[in-house]
Amino acid sequence: MADTLTDAAPGYPMPRAAGCPFAPPPAVEELRDAAPLGKVRIWDGSTPWLITRHADQRALLTDPRVSNDDLRPGFPHVSAHRAGIARTTPRMITNTDAPEHTRLRRMVTGPFLIKRVEAMRPAVRQIVDRLIDDLLAGPRPVDLLTALALPVPSLVICELLGVPYEDHAFFHHNSSRALDRSLPPEEAGAAGRALGGYLAKLLDQKLTDPADDVLSELGERVTTGEMTHDEAVHMGVAMLIAGHETTATMIGLGTLALLRNPEQLAVLRGTEDPKAIAGAVEELLRYLTIVDSGIRRVALEDIAIGGLTIRAGDGLLFDLAAANRDPRAFEGDAAGLDLGRPARHHQAFGYGPHQCLGQSLARLELQVVYGTLYRRIPGLRLAVPFEEIEFVPDGTTYGVRALPVTW
């Protein structure tokens, strides 16, 4: 059975349909609807399993026989480029399994607890309001990505970590290079190391002169021997990289999706109810599922699922967008955007032990932006025809290259 599946494995990733930039590739949805799992062929000719259904993803992402160690043979890398980067990346929160992963993750759960993140709401509101004031006072049209979508998460993650925002041009440049799949691995690796060097210096400062921020907390753990200096630096790098591009992409793509669905935008513009705004954020996260290359793992042992057997050493690809539109998990028209839909069980943040560490922070930022921007600028509209908007199809996240808007 497995051989037939291997011989017939279609290429992956698959293209999106022309004119449907928000929908997952139709072929991925067909695979999801046809069978619980199947195999696909990736760039190096290998044929990992593609997991598309919501329930199967949950089962496998919480299965201890499934590993996130990207140095294991069979791990299905996104590209030759990412495989090269993996070889030089230190072991950190994103590429370890329990018990190592549990230990590292425990070092940073405190700052991301809902209660502590919630305490940042007034500061995030101030940041968003100030940026919108500047937007309203400045020239138009304006690129919403550079004027709002990127600065919001950058300012917030700087505040949380204790990184001076004046340096944002440096770390933004290097974190986007570290994620850039078109760069040779050495250059992407060099960008990651530049960030590491920067954070190592900052950590040393916090060790002698601690402040009320996450880097200082990590410094304290280094002093007590709970983690090494290198581990603290790598944790800072992971948060800095993961903390801004993702949220920025959601602000840009989310705004575009709302402008294309004016009746849904009107719902959001017409409410100040925090629950309704929080619900809208969940639905936009589900509908857009920006981590579109999915998440990847490798099986440590044989696993029986859906009448098939995943063999030890087989790669696993989790197509999060397919699961987020799985009609078995979402009632009604799962392909449509419906801000009133209960969508909190989506998998845009992944699932299981590696589920997004920063999700409460991302939710807060998106709630404040979506709950403020369209109310304060009710006439917000695209400054160019929709057809001219350029999408970034092969990044770590799927979004727009720029979003020229006016009002």
Residues binding ligand HEM (CB under 6 A): 93-94, 105, 238-239, 242-243, 246-247, 250, 290-291, 295, 348-350, 354, 356-358, 361-362
Tokens matching residue 38:
């199947």
Query: What are residue 400's DSSP bridge partners?
Result: 391
Residue 200 or 356 with smaller CB distance to ligand HEM: 356
> In the complex, what is the shortest distance from the CB of residue 259 to ligand HEM, in angstroms, rounded to a whole number?
19
Residue 38 has φ and ψ, to the nearest 5°, of -150, 175
Tokens matching residue 285:
């996260």
What does the alpha-carbon distance between residue 388 and residue 405 come to, in Å, rounded to a whole number? 12
Residue 113 or 384 with smaller CB distance to ligand HEM: 113
Residue 221 or 309 with smaller CB distance to ligand HEM: 221
Residue 245 or 314 with smaller CB distance to ligand HEM: 245
Report the residue number whose CB is nearest to ligand HEM: 358
Residue 106 or 140 with smaller CB distance to ligand HEM: 106
Q: What torsion, rounded to 10 degrees, do the Cα atoms 262, 246, 75, 173 define?
A: 130
> In the complex, what is the shortest distance from the CB of residue 350 to ligand HEM, in angstroms, rounded to a whole number?
3
Residue 25 or 153 with smaller CB distance to ligand HEM: 153
What does the alpha-carbon distance between residue 102 and residue 84 come to, in Å, rounded to a whole number? 26
Containing H/E element for 296?
strand 295-299
Containing H/E element for 96?
none
> In the complex, what is the shortest distance from the CB of residue 155 to ligand HEM, in angstroms, rounded to a whole number?
12
Compute CA distances 7 → 39, 45, 47, 285, whole Å. Answer: 9, 11, 9, 35
What does the alpha-carbon distance between residue 25 and residue 195 come to, in Å, rounded to a whole number? 35
DSSP state of 108: H
> In the complex, what is the shortest distance from the CB of residue 50 to ligand HEM, in angstroms, rounded to a whole number?
16
Residue 157 or 310 with smaller CB distance to ligand HEM: 157
Tokens matching residue 187:
């250059």
Q: How many CB atoms lie within 10 A of CB 106?
A: 12
> In the complex, what is the shortest distance from the CB of residue 321 to ligand HEM, in angstroms, rounded to a whole number?
11
Sign of the Cα pseudo-torsion (397, 398, 401, 406, in order): negative
> In the complex, what is the shortest distance from the CB of residue 196 to ligand HEM, in angstroms, rounded to a whole number?
15
Sign of the Cα pseudo-torsion (137, 142, 144, 146, in order): negative
> In the complex, what is the shortest distance from the CB of residue 159 to ligand HEM, in angstroms, rounded to a whole number?
12
